[in-house]
Amino acid sequence: MNALYEIVPNISEGRDPNVVDACAGAVASGGARVVDVTSDREHHRSVITAVGTRDAVLASSVALAGVAAARIDLRRHRGVHPRMGALDVLPFVALRGAGLEDAARLARDAALAIWEAHRIPSYLYGAAAASPERRQLAEVRRGEFEGLESKIASPGGQPDAGDRAHPSAGAIAIGARPLLIAFNLELASGDLEAARRIARTLRGRDGGLHTLRALGLRLGPASVQVSFNITDPDAVPLYRVVELVRRLAAEAGIALRRSELIGLVPRRALERTAAYYSSVQDTGK
């Protein structure tokens, strides 16, 4: 049985459906099966989820990088989500018949193939990282597109594949990781500092839950969001994230407005959260 992988590319386009469709089409053209596309206007970002064999996801990644570079110009891009590339993030996830190190080798191969085909450099993160300081995506993307040239010119700032930034497509963060959940909670408030304070309290790199990554982002004048990557849904279930944010927001007199899942999630994560809230309703808590 062939090994099966998932790729979850994030592209820096969330407003033009023609560009998003072209990028999803590029993924399909390589042989991977596109199973979900989620776009966000405020983030100006889309997340494509696709699955396939090793050869298929590799070919799809190279095809997507070329189309994204041709259709997305970061010199004119403005959105609330951090980004450094037209194809900004490209994680590889082993689903069946392969492990994390297999996904890491695939990520490294993709970085080299994309540089050779399109002259777009890549930084490797997660299990594919060549050094401990590049394991975290936030560290790899620090400085964003606007800071790429100075970053590459600084000691230790060279990409892992390639030697210069692409003038309009920037650079790509390519990594290998286990399954994670991308999850956003919108607050009924325009208080950006409150959202950032909640993110700092909960995320692992600032002393919170070590499998949680979080950012506080502004969506509009009266709307802010805490955006999460839940890197171990078994250790930190969705309902726990919701209730922790609800408690911290309430301390500032703020209610939750809505929640949002980005892309696909493991079924067991939804079942566990549904069971929790059913239990809460049954006990009248």
- Which tokens hold the place of 103? 């996904």
- What's the chain's average pLDDT? 95
For the entire predicted model, the pTM comes to 0.88
pLDDT per position as a tens digit, 198-208: 999 999 999 99
Q: Is the same domain home to 185 and 172?
A: no
Q: Is the same domain home to 228 and 116?
A: no
pLDDT per position as a tens digit, 213-267: 999 999 988 999 999 999 999 999 999 999 999 999 999 999 999 999 988 888 9
What dihedral angle (degrees, nearest 10) is formed by the CA atoms of 213, 75, 79, 93?
-40
Q: Which domain holds residue 46?
A: 4-176
Q: Residue 183 and residue 194: Cα distance in Å, rounded?
A: 18
Q: Is the same domain home to 159 and 186?
A: no
Angstrom CA distances, 61 to 13, 108, 145, 230, stand at 17, 12, 20, 24
Angstrom CA distances, 41 to 92, 124, 242, stand at 25, 27, 23
Q: Is the same domain home to 9 and 109?
A: yes
pLDDT at 263: 84
**CATH number of the domain that 14 lies in?**
3.30.990.10
Q: Is the same domain home to 134 and 187?
A: no
pLDDT per position as a tens digit, 104-116: 999 999 999 999 9
Q: Is the same domain home to 171 and 230?
A: no
DSSP string, 153-217: HSTT---SB-SS-BTTTB-EEEEE----EEEEEEESS--HHHHHHHHHHHBGGGTSBTTEEEEEE
**CATH number of the domain that 216 lies in?**
3.30.70.670
Domain C-terminal end among 176, 197, 221 = 176
Q: Is the same domain home to 165 and 206?
A: no
The rounded percent of the chain whose pLDDT value lies above 90 is 92
Domain C-terminal end among 136, 151, 176 = 176
Q: Which residues are marked as active site?
A: 81
pLDDT at 221: 87
Q: Residue 133 and residue 125: Cα distance in Å, rounded?
A: 9
Q: Is the same domain home to 108 and 217?
A: no
Q: Is the same domain home to 167 and 191?
A: no
Domain C-terminal end among 158, 176, 194 = 176
Q: Is the same domain home to 196 and 256?
A: yes
The upper half-sphere exposure of residue 113, i.e. CA atoms within 13 Å in the direction of its Cβ, equals: 18
The rounded percent of the chain whose pLDDT value lies above 70 is 98
Q: Is the same domain home to 35 and 157?
A: yes
Beta bridge partners of 45: 40
Count: domains in the chain: 2
pLDDT at 38: 94
Q: Residue 172 and residue 162: Cα distance in Å, rounded?
A: 11
- Which tokens hold the place of 270? 């939804």
Contact 191, 180 (CB under 8 A): no
Average pLDDT over residues 47-72: 98
Q: Residue 51 and residue 165: Cα distance in Å, rounded?
A: 29
Q: Is the same domain home to 135 and 251?
A: no
